[in-house]
Chain A
């Protein structure tokens, strides 16, 4: 009898607290509505729900021009990082098969690749991730709505279903994490009708065949890289420089390797038009900017990788007063991800000046959720973020490029240490390692604080991750030299770096 009374009293108390919370949040349907169910949106909504907030996440995928659409999870899961890395792995395995013969493996016939088998396996994995996200949202009690969200006012979100039905939600706080989509060069005749983008390539049921990849961003180079690796004739069309924003010496090494690996490059070329011939192939005409002459060739597919545009057009931002950067179209955000409207926040690819990376979006989302729930004041640290380009020869880096370090500190105030090395695995396989290279950009004098670290070679992502932690801790060249390498690895070469560019000495690593 006494126990029962206690239980009833506790129930009454908890109920009172719940009522109080609801009153504090006014008459809003939700404490938080997140528009966008990608890397950032999902992390933010799940964290907020875990902290006791009533959260809804709105995710909607407008089909691509070619009609490709996908489930929850955003760009990374569906048309970015995940399928990209899996296809990159497929290509690497092709190379490994060739190397295997040198290592004694008896491979009976010629090796060929079947696109459909790879695509189905990759697509199935992505679907399992879509499902996993749905289950997680359910478990964490986040309301999921497959609707296209737009703002009506600073506390009201309108959601439109695919069939045109509309729902209204009110929220104390609104977070925009709608990310971006690939751009089409609409001024080029035939570009939209006949070309595809990264939104489509991973969902093709049949091989894209002979492909022209237009662009020189990491999207372009990574796609061209794995297409070449699985045996498809691939050409990259570059207008000016590869990997804009990255260290240009390293970018050059990446493209040199790709050229040696079999990818064709059309430098200083600008596409003029794309026509579909009666046979079904695409004829591309482009201008060679060096000669001024027009060139022409046929391809089975044309992949546009000429930049990404933020998904802001249908959000109703102007009406509500959320300010955008006029040039990029991205949302202007402060260090705490707030926008020009007090209770509206934005982060991830949609934020102006933010890195377009999944880990930063996830971390920023979690911190934002914690701040909104009043749990912390910690802001997201966007500095020292390591990244890797998964081209056939991978490139990992953290910190400043050599050019950026020079521009910030002056050429005389920095010391650049470098080394060309050969991965042990390449020796027996008789593979060319001319582009396997390490560069450590340091502040000159004293312990020589590391300003930037660059590595091209196999498993660059795995190698760079560990060093990124050192970088975050303010590592110096002295720290690096005091670290004993693990042998035999490629990563140990970073601990052995000692030839400076300034000395002019040969940077090739010899022997053991």
Chain B
């Protein structure tokens, strides 16, 4: 199973960074930098990910030598089951992180575009977390601070916050702007999960 999965994942990652390159229309230099980043997780990224994430461990398995040099120093488990204990709610770090954990996510993802200065976002945030937790790992939530990731937010057509986008397999299937109550949120999330 391991070998086949690794080939599959490598193909996916190649496709994902091709897609990023295509979307970003990168110059050769930036392309090289991007390739280096995707295939070699930086130490900072390692620190940001909590110990139990399996998305990290799958990358560990599929990456080339530089990462395996780092792994002995880490106390993270090397053989976690593929889909269990996946990080359900996380903050998007950068464009590459977004591609990897949102566009290429095996789970459907809710993307919460928010801002520090947005009052309603502070109300919706906890409600979203609750609705996502109710799904017990069937849906993930990616949080995007639009001041830190302005280009990404603009790319997804965000104009007012909070904006929540429902994504499955890299496609936007639904979205809403503003606050929703718990009932409406549960129904929105259930629809995304496909119940």
Seen from chain A, the residues whose Cβ lies within 8 Å of a Cβ on chain B are 71, 124-125, 127-128, 130-131, 134-135, 138-139, 165
Contact = CB atoms under 8 A, between A and B. Distances in A.
Nearest to A139: B159
16 contacts: A71-B147, A124-B116, A125-B117, A127-B116, A127-B117, A130-B147, A131-B115, A131-B146, A131-B147, A131-B150, A131-B161, A134-B150, A134-B154, A135-B154, A135-B159, A165-B30
B118 interface: yes
B120 to A, nearest CB: 12
A113 B100 CA distance: 45
Contacts of A134: 150, 154
A145 B30 CA distance: 17
A139 B160 CA distance: 12
A124 B117 contact: yes
Given A71-B147, A131-B147, 13 more contacts: A125-B117, A127-B117, A127-B147, A128-B115, A130-B147, A131-B115, A131-B146, A131-B161, A134-B154, A135-B154, A135-B159, A138-B159, A165-B29
Size category of the binding interface on chain B: 10 to 19
A127 B154 contact: no
Contacts of B161: 131
Contacts of A165: 27, 29-30
Nearest to B154: A138
A130 B161 CA distance: 14
Contacts of A138: 154, 159
Interface in B125-174: 146-147, 150, 154, 159, 161
Contacts of B146: 131
B117 A128 contact: yes
A127 B115 contact: yes
A440 to B, nearest CB: 43
Nearest to B150: A134
Contacts, number: 28
Contact of B118 (A128, A130, A135, A139): A128
Nearest to A121: B117
Contacts of B147: 71, 127, 130-131
Nearest to A129: B117
A49 to B, nearest CB: 16
Nearest to A124: B117
B135 to A, nearest CB: 30
Contacts of B117: 124-125, 127-128
Contacts of A139: 159
Contacts of B29: 165
Contacts of A135: 154, 159
A130 B117 CA distance: 11
A71 B117 CA distance: 14
Nearest to A126: B117
A131 B151 CA distance: 10
B157 to A, nearest CB: 8
B75 to A, nearest CB: 34
A127 B29 CA distance: 32
A78 to B, nearest CB: 13
A138 B150 CA distance: 12
A377 to B, nearest CB: 35
A164 to B, nearest CB: 11
Which one of B27, B30, B117, B118 has the greatest number of beta carbons of chain A within 10 Å?
A: B117
Nearest to B157: A138
Q: Please provide the 4 A-B residue pairs with the shortest distance between their CB atoms, ordered closest to farther.
A: A124-B117, A128-B117, A135-B159, A127-B117
Nearest to B119: A124
Residue among A71, A131, A165 having the largest count of chain B Cβ atoms under 10 Å: A131
B19 to A, nearest CB: 22
A380 to B, nearest CB: 31
A136 to B, nearest CB: 9
A139 B115 CA distance: 20
Interface in B85-126: 115-118
Nearest to A125: B117
Contacts of A71: 147, 150
A2 to B, nearest CB: 36
Contacts of A128: 115, 117-118
Contacts of B115: 127-128, 131
Nearest to B159: A135
